Chain A
Amino acid sequence: MDESPPPPDVQSPPPPPPSHTGSPTDFLKGVVGKKVIVRLNSGVDYRGILSCLDGYMNIALEQTEEHVEGKITNRYGDAFIRGNNVLYISAAEEL
C-alpha cells in the first residue's frame, strides 16, 4: 500500500470555531436563574429572572417587567411565555 501523504491540493477541513463559546444549549443552560431580556416578534421585551425553559422555547420568568418602546407597561410575579413568540433571549447580567 502506498502510504504517501495526501496531495497538497486536497482541502483541509475548516478550523474548528474558537473554543469556550459553547453551543446555544450551553448558553441557555448557563442563563437559567439569571436576569434576561426576552424579546418577542412583536418587539415587546420581557425582563426578568429566567426560571426555566423547554424544547419549544416556552419560558417561565420571575419578577417580570414588560417593556414596550422603552416604557414599563406591566409587571408580573410569574409569567409563562409561549415559545413561538420568542425572537431572542439576551443575558442581562454576567454569566
Chain B
Amino acid sequence: MDVSSTGIQEPFDLIRLSLSERVFVKLRGDREMTGILHAYDGHMNLILSDVEETIMIVSEGEQQATVNVAKRKMDMLFVRGDGVILVSPPSRT
C-alpha cells in the first residue's frame, strides 16, 4: 500500500491515528471539548475520557452581543456523532 507523507488515505485515518490521544472536538450548539479519545465509529460517535467541555453562551444585549463561557468536566463521555462538526488531533510534528 502506497503511503503518502502523512500516511492518510481517508479522513477516518486521522481519527484512527488519534486514538488514546487528547483531541479537540467542535460540536453543534456552540460547544467545544477536549478529551482522550478511546473509541469512535463510522457515525463519529465518540468515547472520550477526562473531558473538559466549553459552552459559549451568546446573549444579545442592547448594544452588542456578549459571550459568556461555561466550562465543565466529565470523567467519561459518549458523544453522539451527529453533533460533531470537527475533530482535531494533537499536532503531530
Contact = CB atoms under 8 A, between A and B. Distances in A.
Interface string A73-88: 0001111111011000
A60 B88 contact: no
For chain A, which range describes its interface: under 10, 10 to 19, 20 to 34, or 35 or more residues? 20 to 34
Contacts of A64: 88
Interface stretch (A1-9, A10-18, A21-29, A51-59): A51-59
A52 B8 CA distance: 8
Interface in A30-45: 40, 42
Interface residues of B, number: 22
Closest 3 CB pairs of A and B: A77-B91, A58-B11, A60-B11
A78 B92 contact: yes
8 contacts: A51-B11, A53-B11, A54-B10, A58-B12, A60-B13, A78-B91, A80-B12, A82-B84
